[in-house]
Amino acid sequence: MDNHRLRAMILKLQDRLSNDDRKRLHFYLGNDVPRRIRDDPSLGGTLSLMDSLFDQDKINENDFTFLINAFDEIQCIDAMKLLREYWRQNQSNGLNQSIESLSMIMPSMMSQLVEDQDEDKYPIPHHLVNQQNSCGEYFHDYNHFFYTLFDDLFP
């Protein structure tokens, strides 16, 4: 898994941590990292701590709530906010990619339905099949169509 974006964010985060923040983080995560890393709250030691968390899969590009919670517990609010904002952006990007994937799948599904149309008792409104709306409206139209179809089939 590619963690470059998260690692870049962690490097930016390091600039915002004071020496005391690093010491608190190392103490708090003491049971989760080897002693040699825990005892080195320098910048290099903190980067080694982050590497250890990656190696243990406690943090990765898709889930770094472990780190957000750690910063929350040690009251390092700035770092926690920065990671939460990054998480929100990640979630938003993931949702957009899912919508794009669905929008590519849905037209082919609708084409298959149209091909089967000859035998169907309930015709598909063609203005819904070829509609070029935004994704949200596109899915809304499909949902409306299917609910209407089921209402007709099962009164």
Helix (H) or strand (E) holding 1: none
* 98 is a domain residue: no
Q: Evaluate if residue 72 carries a pLDDT over 90.
A: yes
pTM of the model: 0.58
Q: Are residues 10 and 60 in the same domain?
A: yes
Q: Provide the domain count of the chain.
A: 2
Question: Does a structural domain hold residue 108?
Answer: no
The answer to whether residue 8 sits within a structural domain is: yes
In a domain, 101, yes or no: no
Q: Which residue has the higher pLDDT, 87 or 66?
A: 66
Tens of pLDDT along 46-66? 999 999 999 999 999 888 899
Q: Are residues 78 and 13 in the same domain?
A: yes
Confidence of residue 40 (pLDDT cuts 50, 70, 90): very high
Q: Tell me: do 89 and 27 sit in the same domain.
A: yes
With bands split at pLDDT 50, 70 and 90, how would you rate the model's confidence at 86? confident
The answer to whether 117 touches 124, Cβ cutoff 8 Å, is yes
Give the H/E segment covering residue 63: none
Angle at the Cα of 36 (from 33 to 42), degrees rounded to 5? Answer: 90
Structural domain range at position 81: 4-93
Residue 112 in any domain: the answer is: no
Last residue of a domain, one of 93, 110, 141: 93
